[in-house]
Each structure stands twice: as C-alpha cells, then as structure tokens.
Structure 1
Amino acid sequence: MKINQPIGISLLIAGLWSSTALAQVSAPDSTSAPAADTGTGIEEIIVTANRRSENLQKVPISIAAFEGSTLTRLGIQSTNDLPQITPGLSQNRSIVGINAYLRGVGQNSAGYTTELPVATYLDGLYLPNAAAAAFSFNNIQRIEVLKGPQGTLYGRNTTGGLIHVITKDPGDDVSVDASASYGNYDTTQLNFYGSTPLSDTLAANIAAVYINQADGWGRNAFTGSEAYTFEDFGVQGKLLWRPGPDTKITLRGFYDRTNSDQGLGGQIYRGSVGADGTGNLGEYVINERRDPFAKQTQIIVSLKAEQNFDFATLTSTTGYINNKSPVFLIQSYNVGNPVAGQSAINFGLDQTAKTFSQELQLASDSSSPFSWIVGAFYYHDNTRIVTNVYGTCVDAVCAGAVPIETDGSQKTRSVSGYADGTYAITPTTRLTLGVRYTSDTKRIGGIATPLPGFPNSVPAFPASQVTQPGQPFSGFPDGIDTDVTFNKLTYRAIIAQDVAEDVNVYASYNRGFKSGGFNPVAFTNPATKPEVLDAFEIGFKSRTADRLLQLNASAFYYIYKDIQLRTTAPPAPPGGTLLFNAAKAHIKGIDVDAVLAPAEGLTLTAAAEVLNAKYVDFPGGVCSAPRAIGGDVLGGYGTTPCVLAGRRLPQAPEFSYTLGVNYALETELGLFEFNATDGYKSHVFWEPNNRLRQDGFHVVNASLTWKPLDSGFSLQVYGRNLTGSYYYTGGGDGAGGNDFGIPGAPRTYGVKARYQF
C-alpha cells in the first residue's frame, strides 16, 4: 500500500498528537479512576467489547469509545453524527436508515430490505435493520465502535464491526438532567432524563427527547415546499430490580417516532443532467412533482436478567422490536415528463418488521488464569414491505410500464451457539480462542399485481400480470428457491503480550460472515450467498506512566469474499433494485489513536486511518456513463457490463482523521469549557464503478460552555459544520437513469441551557 507524502506527514502528526479518544477521555459504566491528584492525566475507560467489563487498554481489539458527556460537549446529537469523530466510519443516509461502513465494509441498502454488515446493538440487544439504528437521547452512558469482524461473541452480520450504544442504569440517588436548545432553521430540542430509587431494591429512570427542525435546509423547486426538515419524539425508561445481592433484573422500554425527508430528498448530482433534461438547481434544492416523506415508529421492549454464582454470571437477554415506516419518494429524483425514458419514478412503500430475540450467556469470573464465555442465541424476524411503483402522470397521460404493487415478505430464523476463552499462559501473555456456529433460514413470500387507479394500469388482474416467488421465468424455468438455509462456522484467535506495565501488543485473526438473503420485493432475484471476511490484525496499546500520553495503533489486512451489493442500475427493473454478490476484495490499512493531556484542564485528541480497499475479482460488474444528449435523449446515464477488478470499494476514504481540543478553565465567574473538533474524510466513490465521486471535506464543530460555580446550571453556544462544507451523505447511479446525491447538513448553530442535579 502506497502512502503519499502529505498523507504520511498527516498520519505522523496524528500519531504524535492524539486520538479517537475524543472518546478516550471518556468514562466507564459508572466510575472513572482519577488520573492524578493534580487533576491532569487521562482517565481509565472500561468497555464491554468482549462481553465483560475490561480496561480499554487491555482489550486486543481496535475500539473507539465515547462517553455520554463527551458526546454532549462535541455536539453529537445522535448516532448519525458518529462519522464526524470516528475515522474509518462512514454512513450513507438512505430512506429512513443509516447504513454504516467501517474500514470500507458496508452495504448500500435501504430501509428494511436487508440487514447490514456493521451491526448496531442497544444495551446488548441486536437491532436488525438500518432503520432501527438512528436515535437521539441524553441518557447515553457510552458508545463503543468495534472495528473488524465480531463473528464469535456477537455473531451474524458483524462482518465489518459493530456500534454498541449503552444507556444509563437507574442509580441509588435522585438525579435530573434537563436541557433546552434553540438553533437556526427554527430548530428546537428538549431533553429530559430523570432517575430515582423506588425502594431499597427497585429503581427507575426515564429519558425523553423532542427535536423539531421546522425550517428546511432547502426547498422543492417544483412544489415550493420546504425540503430537509426533521422531527423526532422519543421516550425510553428502565426499571431495575435487585431482589437479592446476586440478582439484577432490568426491564427496558423504548418508543421513538420520526418524520423527515433528510434521508431521501435527493437531487440530480452536481455536474450531471437528468433523463428529463433537468440538472442540479442548487446546493439544497430538490425538483420533484411531489414532496418526499419518511415516517417511522419504533417500539423496543427488552428484559435482561443477571444472576451471579460463585464461579460465573448467567445473563438472559430477551427482546422484542416492532418497526413501522410509511415512505414516499421520487426514486429518480427528477420532475419527469410523461414520455418513456424521461419519466420520474414514483416509489411508495409501507414497511413493517417484527423481531424477537433471546440470548443466554454464562461468563466466568476473572479471578482465575482462564476466563471463558459460552452462550446461545435465537433470532426470529418477520419483515413485510409493500411497494407501489409508477411513472410520471400528467392529467390522463402516464409514462412507463404498468404500475405495480408488490407485497413481499421475508422471514428469518437464526440459531447459534458460541464459546470463547482467554488463558493467561504467563502473567504477561494471554491467548484467546473463540468459535461460533450459526444456522440461518430465510423464506420469501408475497405477490405482485398491477396497481389500480392509473390510466396505464390493468383494470382486471389477469394471471399473466400476477407474479409470486417461485414462479418460472426467463432464465429460471423452475423459479427461484424461496426457502434457503445458511450454516456457518466463525472463529477467532488472539495472542496478547504485555511488554511493560502500560504497554501491550497483540496479533489476531477473526472470521466474520453476513448471512445471505432475499430482496423481498423482487421475486426474480435469487437469494445471495453469505459474505465472509477474514481479518488479520496486529496492534499495540500504550500509555506513559504519568498518564499524560496515550498512543494506540493497529495495522489490518482483510480478505473479503462474496460481497453483497445492491444496485438500481440495469439490469435492475425500473423502480426496483437488484441484490447480488460482487466477488472478492482486499482491504488493508493503519489506524492510529492518541490522547495528550499536557496540563490541567487541557486535552488534545486525534485519530487517523489510512485505507486501501479494492476489488481484486469482480467480473460481472456494471459500468455507467452519461448518455450523449441529442434528439429524444435529454440526459441521464447508460450502462454496460464491465470488469471492476482494481476499483475502490464504495465509501472507503483513503485517508480520514479527527483532531480535537478540550480546555476547561475555572474562574471566579465560573467554569468555562471550550471544545472543538475537525473531522476530515478524503474523497470516496458511491458505486463500485467509481464514476461518481464525493471530494474530500472537513466538518468542524465547536462549543463554549459556561457553568457557574456550585451550580447545576450551564449555558452553551455551539456550532456544527462551521466552515459550511457542502457534501453528500448518499449518492449513486439512481433508478430511471439519473445520477443522484443526498446532501449533508449545512452550517448549524444555537444556544443550549441545561440543568443537572
């Protein structure tokens, strides 16, 4: 892997300076060890990456960990904002979902149609689709971003890693954290968190959030309406019962409702021309006959029971998730004319997903040289997606093929068992071995019929117009297999060595896999094969004895096979998508994280990643190019088959970094705290053919907080994307032959008042 001089210099600076430790000045579950009596130094961080509480510096995994108070200082409002402070992490906004990419591993999926290779967990509960992964609350204790496959302890669909959100447990004392903020774009946000003991053995907490961005970042040029608005209301709570000294039972409830067009209000890509001749009209301007919208309601209920025995702790985690989301968008992102080849593609869908999971885990105590975990996991998901696809209609004239309604469903059943153990060969040498066996069964069902009510629809439904999974069609005389099972063994091996009291090195091999599956709204799309990733990593973690400097680094090499991709470009049907396996890629890179605390109240942080992620075998690819304008051709792109070996993986920046400074100064007027971060990502491509490019960009955030002495009140002024960088959070070769982009947030700023006791 070649590293050019500017990148090499930047990486060296990052290595000498600091780290992802924007997080790593954060605290553990409930307590942080003070660094020194002088008030200087780096605090300990306790993480649960290995499904048990451990010091971050002793865990032989590349991790970024962020405490809730750190996220507040940085102006991180939700999981959507994590890429701003995590090198190697990118996110693609798509309909109601957030598709995460870690070290180039991810998927350009949308909505409820598939699970992602970077999983999201909430208090130990697996969230099955991208739509469930975005939320905003002020009760977050810590967020852990685990880089690399986690196929042993966490299992299926963690090929690239996982994001784990840990929320606060109720405490023994009464506490309240309430805040109100107001910002530009008429944005109001209200947060409340309260915790109280109810008896000697029972405690409860509750958190609520309301966000209303009433003014959009832009407008719809065709309708004149606001574009890129956002509204969110959520409430969650925990009831914690300790019936005995060795027993802990936690009941958790979560409700969240959002309404936004920020993940689907797309525009013709800058420099491109749409199939109807329209181009890009401005940075935050869309041009569509109808205003897009996406609504989502999430309900999550979980029960976690923990029983301590003399030798081990037994944990049972039971969860139920119910997601619903009606959506409408113009899938081709243009106005369209009632002419074949120039039409806009209207896309409405109603998505529902109901998921039940149960995990049992027995983990040994850590007092002996051998620590171990054994467990079993059961997962049951029913997803139903109803789509309506139709072309542009002006008066009684409609373009395109027969409007179609597809009512599709995918059922998933998964069972797995796992075991993982770490043995201290010597007091300074540890060997970890782990294995997991997973069996996934998936079944597709449904029916597709003409959509009534349109001039070009079919008034009656003849058998020739009705399709179902399993029916014969061209190329598949017996139809596709509608019931498939995937069995997979995943494993890991890690050797870790302490070379000094605060310095250790490690080498690891991990195998992860993402289950195969169906495209539930395309009955002629066979199930994909599972994708498999073999990861090799070496790294070190170090800290000076006085805790003034912490420096961690890792180098990794991935062999990534049978990569699953989704495309709306031909041969995908108009308004539809095609899910397929894309052969093989090699990914290699370097992560550097550091923290420097040179003086009381001052912390400098930085993190950097250099990444080389390319396909090494991709014979069945699709290349696209703008169509030559003339005659009936007004714009758009065309496609041809091509070989994509040697192309970069989507959403895989060659270089990314985060630099930060936090300075707290106590004066007679109170405590002043200044915080600033600069997150940079170099250019990326949206599709495997590497035609549409997002140039590199910075996102600079800053805040200044004032807190009077001996008071729970604080006042903060904040700004996000202060340099006004214009960038896309999603894009690619869209349906209808149009290049599209979904812009990220512009410069925002405001003031926040907060009270805590």
Structure 2
Amino acid sequence: MSNVVSKGRLLLLATAAACLPAAVQAQAPATGAAAQTEANAAASETALDVVVVTAQRRVQRGNDVGIAMNVVSGGELEAAGVRQVVDLATQTTNVQIKNTLGGSVPNVTIRGIGLNDYASNNNPAAGVYVDNVYLVSPAMLSFGLFDVDRVEVLKGPQGDLYGRNTTAGAINIISKRPTEAADAEFQVGYGTYDSWLLNGAVGGPLAPTLAGRFAFTTEQQASGWQRNYVTGERNGRIDRTAARLHLEWTPSEAVTALLSAHAGYDRSDQSLYKVDNVLTTDEDAFAGRPRIAGASNNPEVDLKSAGVSLTVDWALAEGLTLTSISAYERFTRVDVGDQDGTRLRQLDSTFRNRINQTSQELRLAYSREALTLIGGAYYSRDTVATQDSYDAPDLLPLLGLSGISTIGNRYHQRTKAYAVFLHGEWEIVPKLTLVSGIRYTKERKRLDDATTFLGPTGGGEVDVFAPVENFFRTSNVSGKLGVNYKLLDDTLLYASVSRGFKSGGFQGQLTFDPSALTPFDDEKLTAYEVGVKSRVLPNLQVNASAFNYDYEDSQFYGPLFDSPVGVLFGITNVGDARVRGVEGDVTWRPVAGLDLRVGAGYIDTEITRSIVPGVAKGSRLPNAPEFTLNGSVKYAWTVTDDAEADISLSAAYQSRVAFDIVRNPPEAREGGYTTVNGEAGLNLGENFRIAVWGKNLFNELHRTQALFTSAGWSEQYSAPRTFGVKLSWQN
C-alpha cells in the first residue's frame, strides 16, 4: 500500500513540476507601464472563480457561508470520473460512501456519522437532496450523476433549514437549469469491458416566457471484471438509462416556476460476493483470487425511478420572496444476489422494495440590509413495502429447519413528518453577524404486516409469527447558534453550536423474535465547530475547520444478537460516542492554466458508552478512517490557435477503516489505500473535444465492504484499472 501512496503523490507532484516551468518561462520580463499592464493581465488570468452556493436556501458566495462544505463543479466531476453518488467520496475529506449490498444501497458517512444498513425503510444519517428534493431511502441513491451543475457536501448537523436525518450533514446535487440562449452538448465514450456511454442535453428558449432543458444518459457494458467460477462467465454487465426534463416559466419579473421531471432504470449485474464459506470447500480453490467468486443464480438488479417536482419563486415585495417546492418520487427495486458465494443454494437473496414519497415545502425569505430571515413549513409522506427472501435449501436443514427451502421477511411502513422552521442572520455590528435557527419536527411511523415467513420445499409460505403492527412517534427540536466575523471581504471566521437528530424507527431485517420489531429511538448529535474561509490571494483559497461532536443514542446496524438460524442482523441504539477532528482544503492557481487542489481530514472517534453486548467502550466508529487526503492537478496549454490541450489527475487516500465494530473482528478491518484517476484531452476549436481517461491508474486492490453472515465472511472488492476514450461536442 505504501508504494501505491508514494506513486500517487509522486505522479501529482511530477505533473505539477513539469507544468510549472513551462508556464513560468512563457512569461517574458517587462518593465514600467508595460510590466504593470502584464501583471494586471496575469492576475486576471490566475484569479479563481467565485464559488456560488445555495447551501442556506439562497444564492450566496461560498466564502459568506459559515458551514464547512466541499463544492464540486460538474466539470470537476467529469474530469475525476465521478458517475454515481458512491464516487463522490474521492472528492471530499472525511467522507465515506460505499455500497452496502453489491452495487446498490449506498451508505453515506460524514465525519464518522452514518448508518451501515441495507434495509430500505431506514433513513440515511446524511440527507441527500436532488434539486431540493429529499430522498427518504438509501436504496434510492444508486442513481447516475449527469448534467450536473455542482454538488455541495455540507458537513455537520443541518438541523434548521434541512431538518431530520441530517446528523451527519447533507449532500445537495444541483442539475443544470435552462439557459436564456439555445445550447446543446453531446458526448459518446468507449472503454474497458466493451462499455459505451452516451450523454446529451439540449436547451434554450421555447417561447417568450418559457425555457426548457432535456438531458439524458445511457451506459451499456457487455462484461465486467469479475468472473463467476460456477458458470465460467464474466460478471459486470451494465444497462442503465436516465433522463431529466426542466421547464422554466417566467410569466413576470416577480414569478419563476421550474417544473422538473425525471425517469430512469438500471438492469445491471449485481456484484458477486467473495465469501470465505465455512460450510463448504466449494470456493477454496479460488481463495487467493479476490476477483473470482461464485453464484448459483443470476445476480442482477432491476431499479426503476421516476419523479416530478414544481418549484415556484414569487417575489412578493422588495426583499420578500415566497418559495414553494412540491415533489413526488416513485422507486421500485428488485435485487438478486448470491450471498454465500458458491454453487450451492445457501443464501441466494432476492430483495423487493416499492417506495412512494410526497413532500411539500413552503418558505418565506426576507432580506433587507442587516437582517435575513427564512421561515417555513415542511410536510412529507412516504410508504415502503418490502419482501426479502433467501433461497437456502442447502443451508436451512443444517440449522434444524428440515423441509424448508426459503426464509424471508415482509413489512409495510408508512411515515408522516411535519416541521416548522426559522433561520435568521443579523449583522449586529459591521462585519459581525449572529446566525441562529430552530426547527420543530413531528414524525409518525406505522409498521404493519411485519413478519418472518418460511417456504416449505413443496411451495407456499408459512408465517413464523402473526403479522406485527407497531407505531413510532417522536417530536424533536433542532437548530443552530453561531457567529460569522468578516475579517476581510474575502475572509470569514465562524463558530457555531448546532443540534441535529436522526429519527428512530423499525428494523427491516429478518428476525424470529417479534419483540425485535419494536421501535428504536432517535439519535441526537450536538456539534461545536470553528472555521475559516479565506481568499488569501486572488488565486489562492484556503478553508479549514475544527469540530467536536457529542453523539447520543447512536443507531448501529450489525450482528447485535444471535439466533437459532445463524447470524441475523438488527438495528438499535447502542449508546453514546464522541467525534473530534480537523479538516481543510486549499485551491491554488499559481499560473494561468494550472489548477491545484488538496484537502486533508483527521477524525478521532470513540464509543464512550455502550449498552449493547459486543460493542466495546473505547471502540472507533465504523466507516471512520482516521486520515483522509484528496487532491487534483489540472494543466491546460495552447497547442495551436484552434487547439488547446489539458491533463487532469485526481487522487484520494484513506487510512485503515473498520466496516463493523461488533466484537471488533479483525476480518472487518481494511488497511489504507490510494486511488488515482486521470484524464487528458484536446479541445478543437470551440465545439469539439476528444479525451482519454483512466480510473484506478495504479490498479489498487482493496475491499469496499466486509460482512459476517451465516455462511462466513462476505467481502466486496474494488474494480481494477480501466481506460476509455470520449468525444464531446457543444455549441
């Protein structure tokens, strides 16, 4: 691993070193007025762009917002090869995103706070918003990123403007909106494993007061990097397509309405599980070959999503704006996998989910001189229907269940949430602003038709216990109190105390004990944070923060209890923890054409109180590496009057991490590793671009997940090095 880290750092440094002399030498010396003119021109060419965000539900400069965040533009995502939510972690510090099941159900962990649960009925600890619409289930996060304007990763509890289920933070994904002038862009790409990628977007005015934008993406791949030793075939086929339509209507200067509709599907192969199966020697011949695994079924997913939202902004008076966001989302999922990893039918899983959610938010914003107020109300309703099953005729008789071939569970969950909130910023004296926010949330959940069933060998289903109906109700007050001090126009010092909560609920996993379906409680997090954001020079931006978290009644998912049929999983409150850390990032453009960015994070996590056997006091939180580093370098230069070339490299490092801390198994620990991605392109005129790209350039092999099952340790591995080429056109 150390060799890979060294190679990644050396590659970034070597690229920067190679680029700097050429750029510096290209500047001829000058004197007098000419020298001053050239100096001003050079400063203009190296000045960094102003970062604009909507993290506080209004348009602001990033340096005016007292929240630790990472903002990644759509162009930066493209250059780094980020195509899905799970890839965002490589661009941010102290952030982990991984799939809990093969290639689906991403878990987002920010500064050690997350939920490692594969069930679809539990909300993530980091709220994910797409064009201001909150997605209620982690199962809904396996979507592709396309036609993205920017992504904002907000760190720490967002308890006033965002509300429930943001103890870790929030991720805002903002797509490109319609433009005043007609525009179009298309991209086609080809890569390793016979993969094809086609993206496109067209937009512009449709009528005097109406503009639109239609964007789409499709990715097709014929094979993959895994091999199924049972069938001898390659695994990794990709078949996913998505599209989005924006219609923006501006009937007057005071009113803007944005209608957004999207739909997509994913019918790709599910990743194979590499299992150290203790019940058979079937896999032993391939024990040292992590990219060869077994499956007796056809592992694949069938995901379908669709949604529509309407956002209306109405300027009622000078400085007073009313915003309404109405949204509906529908998601269905069928996930087929072989979790025993052999030719036997021991844990051949099928997960079926159907999720519907409706939400409505009303905000009234007032901003005049020294005072800004944003208040409003929020309502959401969602339903989750699930039936999970395991085809296990070769396992269940060994556990005393003769004549039984299938075991599974089903449930139906309804959730209603209500909230009112108020956020205020008051410039008490010049340069000093008081920031405060409060939110009251009330939530009700109903779990019904919840049971475990057995499938006899002859067919049919038999409930293990009578279907359970339970209720969960909670109300919570969250919020924030902070101060912002403008040391200089482009330098902000900030300090805050914020409170967030993640609502309780019900476990969605298999259980033989109906009492396990009683609700678990909310978790609460109080964060103390100080930070600085400074445009030190026109070409140099520095951000840094330090934080301390009190984490109460933390919710954990894992093998928290034993059962008559081997290892089962559950979710419950396990106690309290603390998190301390620092992080920072620097963006620098030393000369025209050269952009450098580096970020570093450190966190120290510890369980301070445990009420669950197996979770030891003093343990580190799962998915919380002590150190994370990421960086990128991009250099662009003129080749001819009509051609410009560029090269981009990005790298990310994380130190050792534990996937599960229950009983602190060594098998659940993964050592540190570095991944490096790159792209080199040639722009021909103003319209065409051809580029080659590579992901995981040093072919780093690491585990992305490890889970203990009734068949033994199940592991998932990273993809190997891949390459490709793409051709783009835009008007």
Counterpart position of 2:73: 67
Residue correspondence of structure 1 range 641-680 to structure 2 within 5 A: 643-668=615-640, 670-680=643-653
Q: Which amino acid aligns with 1:224?
A: G
Residue correspondence of structure 1 range 404-419 to structure 2 within 5 A: 404-419=407-422
Alpha-carbon distance, 1:423 to partner: 0.3
Counterpart position of 1:467: 466
Alpha-carbon distance, 1:397 to partner: 7.8
1:718 to 667, 683, 693: 693
Alpha-carbon distance, 1:356 to partner: 0.4
1:194 to 202, 214, 219: 202
Greater fraction of residues in strand:
2
For the Cα contact (< 8 Å) 2:454–2:461, is it kept in 1? no
For the Cα contact (< 8 Å) 1:138–1:193, is it kept in 2? no
Distance 2:41 2:472 in 1: 54
Relative to 1, partners in 2 of residues 1:557 and 1:35: Cα closer, same or farther, differing over 3 Å? farther
Distance 1:451 1:137 in 2: 40
Residue correspondence of structure 1 range 174-573 to structure 2 within 5 A: 174-262=182-270, 264-268=271-275, 272=276, 274-277=278-281, 278-279=283-284, 280-310=287-317, 311-336=319-344, 344-365=346-367, 367-393=368-394, 401=401, 402=404, 403-448=406-451, 450-452=453-455, 454-455=457-458, 461=462, 465-470=464-469, 482-521=470-509, 522=511, 523-525=514-516, 526-545=518-537, 547-568=538-559, 570-571=561-562
Distance 1:334 1:469 in 2: 34
1:580 partner SS:
strand
**Is 1:708 matched up with 2:684?**
yes
For the Cα contact (< 8 Å) 2:412–2:450, is it kept in 1? no
Alpha-carbon distance, 1:106 to partner: 0.5
For the Cα contact (< 8 Å) 1:225–1:291, is it kept in 2? no
Counterpart position of 1:82: 88
Q: Which amino acid aligns with 1:357?
A: S
2:44 partner SS:
coil
For the Cα contact (< 8 Å) 1:283–1:726, is it kept in 2? no
Distance 2:60 2:153 in 1: 15
1:71 partner SS:
helix
1:598 partner SS:
coil
RCO higher in structure (CA 8 A, sep ≥6): 1
Alpha-carbon distance, 1:169 to partner: 1.1
For the Cα contact (< 8 Å) 2:357–2:383, is it kept in 1? yes
Alpha-carbon distance, 1:112 to partner: 1.4
Counterpart position of 1:636: none
Alpha-carbon distance, 1:548 to partner: 1.9
Alpha-carbon distance, 1:419 to partner: 0.3
Please list every run of 5 or more consecutive structure 1 residues that lacks an aligned counterpart in the other structure. 1-5, 18-33, 337-342, 471-481, 623-642
Distance 1:379 1:90 in 2: 28
TM-score by length of 2: 0.89
Relative to 1, partners in 2 of residues 1:302 and 1:68: Cα closer, same or farther, differing over 3 Å? same
Distance 2:126 2:132 in 1: 15
Q: Which amino acid aligns with 1:302?
A: S
Relative to 1, partners in 2 of residues 1:570 and 1:170: Cα closer, same or farther, differing over 3 Å? same
For the Cα contact (< 8 Å) 1:220–1:291, is it kept in 2? no
1:157 partner SS:
coil
Distance 1:400 1:223 in 2: 30
Counterpart position of 1:478: none
CA-to-partner distance for each residue in 1:617-671, whole Å, 9 max, x for gaps? 124133xxxxxxxxxxxxxxxxxxxx51111111101101112111110121611
Q: CA RMSD in A?
A: 2.4
Alpha-carbon distance, 1:73 to partner: 1.9
Greater fraction of residues in helix:
2
Counterpart position of 2:59: 53
Q: Which amino acid aligns with 1:673?
A: D
1:694 to 670, 674, 680: 670
**Is 1:756 matched up with 2:724?**
no
Distance 1:259 1:727 in 2: 26
Distance 1:375 1:385 in 2: 33
Distance 1:390 1:400 in 2: 16
Q: Which amino acid aligns with 2:722?
A: T
2:660 partner SS:
coil
Distance 2:231 2:639 in 1: 53
Counterpart position of 1:597: 589
Distance 2:143 2:42 in 1: 36
1:387 partner SS:
strand
Q: Which amino acid aligns with 2:715?
A: G
Counterpart position of 1:626: none
**Is 1:615 matched up with 2:619?**
no
Alpha-carbon distance, 1:737 to partner: 4.6
Relative to 1, partners in 2 of residues 1:57 and 1:450: Cα closer, same or farther, differing over 3 Å? closer
Relative to 1, partners in 2 of residues 1:98 and 1:35: Cα closer, same or farther, differing over 3 Å? farther
Counterpart position of 2:19: none
Alpha-carbon distance, 1:39 to partner: 1.1
For the Cα contact (< 8 Å) 1:569–1:737, is it kept in 2? no
1:567 partner SS:
strand
For the Cα contact (< 8 Å) 2:120–2:508, is it kept in 1? no
Counterpart position of 1:747: 721
CA-to-partner distance for each residue in 1:578-636, whole Å, 9 max, x for gaps? 111111111011011111111011111100001111211124133xxxxxxxxxxxxxx
Alpha-carbon distance, 1:135 to partner: 2.4
Relative to 1, partners in 2 of residues 1:159 and 1:714: Cα closer, same or farther, differing over 3 Å? same
CA-to-partner distance for each residue in 1:23-81, whole Å, 9 max, x for gaps? xxxxxxxxxxx997631121110111111111101111111001112211222222221
Distance 1:524 1:228 in 2: 40
Please list every run of 5 or more consecutive structure 2 residues that lacks an aligned counterpart in the other structure. 17-39
For the Cα contact (< 8 Å) 2:448–2:468, is it kept in 1? yes
For the Cα contact (< 8 Å) 1:392–1:399, is it kept in 2? no
Distance 1:563 1:495 in 2: 28
Distance 2:41 2:220 in 1: 40
For the Cα contact (< 8 Å) 1:685–1:693, is it kept in 2? yes
Distance 1:449 1:736 in 2: 17
For the Cα contact (< 8 Å) 1:674–1:705, is it kept in 2? yes
Distance 1:200 1:400 in 2: 73
Distance 1:422 1:37 in 2: 34
Alpha-carbon distance, 1:273 to partner: 5.3
Distance 2:551 2:195 in 1: 43
For the Cα contact (< 8 Å) 2:277–2:711, is it kept in 1? no
